[in-house]
DNA sequence: CTTTAGACGAAGTATTA
DNA sequence: TAATAATTCGTCTAAAG
């Protein structure tokens, strides 16, 4: 699915991944898109602002998420069809319905236009790959259609959409990183995250320690074997169910610590704690826990 | 002097009543 | 809203290297 290619021109990281589905080469360390749009299966979000009128409906939610009664593209009959209805009252009723639908959908589109420019702004600051930006736009659209933005700031829902999109695409971005770019506070954003998680779609993978490994190990300049070892440790740890409810950063850091000792590529707890954004204490607790529950022996010192 | 281990309470979070 | 349970953090002490 994902294959290693070369070096990142931006940060020099070696963790480049080719995402066939999106046709992109992404640096997992800094999130930079090196090559993009080799193939494009995505929805046409990019030209949203330039396009007008009916043609926008092309950019509706992908069919997998679309419910026939909730999409923007739902019409109350065509104008031509209405004239074939003989009853005058019935006909007027349909016209009224069309009118309402027009009002609702233009309101949504106005909101969307505003939101998407904010989305573009934030995601470019964060150097997020386009696939994530598109995902965020999809999520936001769903949120608007379900009226989740009412009573909330557009910015907070946009930020939440971006955060969730990052998680879906397994690109490690902490909520704080998004908070610094967004124009709202953390509380509002996490509220919106919860709301979307609950109301909109649910296919958001839990944050996994494995996703952090590339970024962290690049910062630590670890050997390939060490990285691989750490990945294996996390895999078995997850199988043993000892990772649930724990900070992924702590798990990832602990796995890297163990791996670095096992592969004679040693780093101190302090070094690892720094890049993992957890404290040495947490690294210690997690790694003790892992050693115990996975039965890892510590001969080579 | 540096790294690691472990204990304690404080602080923020999620769940429940 | 308040109480609870689990988790991480900061700090301190101590041992090992």
Nucleotide with minimal C1' distance from the CA of A272 is B3
Is the pLDDT score of A78 beyond 80? Answer: no
Same domain, A186 and A224: no
Q: Tokens at residue A149, please?
A: 């933005």
- Structural domain count of chain A: 3
Chain B: bases < 7 Å from a protein Cβ: 2-8
> Which of the four pLDDT bands, split at 50, 70 and 90, describes residue A133?
very high
Asked whether residue A54 is assigned to any structural domain, the reply reads no
Nucleotide with minimal C1' distance from the CA of A276 is C8
Residue A45 has a pLDDT of 35
Q: What is the share, in percent, of chain A residues with pLDDT greater than 70? A: 62
- Least confident stretch, A19-23, A219-223, A230-234: A19-23
Q: What is the model's pTM?
A: 0.64
Provide, in whole angstroms, the distance separating residue A108's CA from nucleotide B11's C1': 41
- Regarding predicted confidence, which is higher, A59 or A189? A189
Asked whether residue A93 is assigned to any structural domain, the reply reads yes
| Residue closest to sugar C1' of B13 by CA | A245
Asked whether residue A39 is assigned to any structural domain, the reply reads no
Q: Is the CB of A176 under 7 A from strand C?
A: no
Q: What is the share, in percent, of chain A residues with pLDDT greater than 90? A: 4
User: Which structural domain range is residue A97 located in?
Assistant: 74-105
What mean pLDDT is reported for chain A? 72
Same domain, A117 and A189: yes
Is the pLDDT score of A70 beyond 50? Answer: no
What is the rounded distance in angstroms from the CA atom of residue A24 to the CA atom of residue A1?
12
Mean pLDDT, residues A229-239 taken together: 87
Provide, in whole angstroms, the distance separating residue A287's CA from nucleotide C14's C1': 20
Asked whether residue A21 is assigned to any structural domain, the reply reads no
Asked whether residue A68 is assigned to any structural domain, the reply reads no
Residue A301 buriedness (CB in 10 A; 0-12 / 13-18 / 19+): exposed
């Amino acid at each position: 699915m994902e294959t290693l290619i070369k070096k990142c021109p931006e940060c020099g990281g070696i963790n480049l991944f080719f995402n066939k589905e999106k046709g992109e080469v992404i640096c997992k360390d800094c999130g930079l898109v090196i090559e993009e749009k080799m193939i494009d299966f995505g929805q046409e979000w990019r030209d949203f602002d330039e396009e007008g009128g009916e043609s926008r409906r092309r950019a509706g939610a992908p069919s997998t998420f679309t419910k026939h009664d909730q999409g923007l593209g739902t019409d109350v009959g065509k104008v031509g069809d209405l004239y074939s209805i003989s009853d005058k009252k019935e006909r007027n009723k349909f016209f009224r319905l069309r009118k309402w639908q027009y009002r609702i959908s233009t309101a949504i589109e106005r909101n969307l236009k505003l939101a998407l420019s904010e989305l573009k702004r934030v995601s470019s600051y964060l150097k997020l790959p386009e696939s994530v930006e598109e995902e965020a736009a999809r999520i936001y659209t769903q949120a608007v259609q379900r009226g989740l933005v009412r009573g909330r700031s557009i910015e907070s829902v946009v930020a939440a959409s971006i955060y969730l999109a990052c998680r879906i695409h397994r690109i490690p971005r902490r909520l704080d990183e998004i908070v610094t770019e967004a124009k709202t506070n953390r509380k509002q954003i996490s509220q919106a995250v919860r709301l979307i998680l609950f109301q909109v779609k649910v296919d958001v993978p839990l944050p996994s320690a494995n996703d952090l490994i590339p970024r962290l190990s690049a910062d630590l300049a670890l050997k390939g074997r060490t990285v691989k070892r750490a990945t294996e440790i996390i895999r078995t740890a997850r199988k043993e169910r000892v990772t649930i409810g724990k900070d992924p950063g702590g798990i990832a850091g602990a796995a890297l610590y163990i791996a670095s000792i096992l592969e004679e590529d040693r780093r101190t707890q302090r070094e690892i704690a720094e890049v993992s954004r957890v404290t040495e204490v947490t690294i210690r607790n997690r790694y003790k826990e892992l050693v115990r529950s996975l039965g890892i022996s510590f001969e080579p010192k």
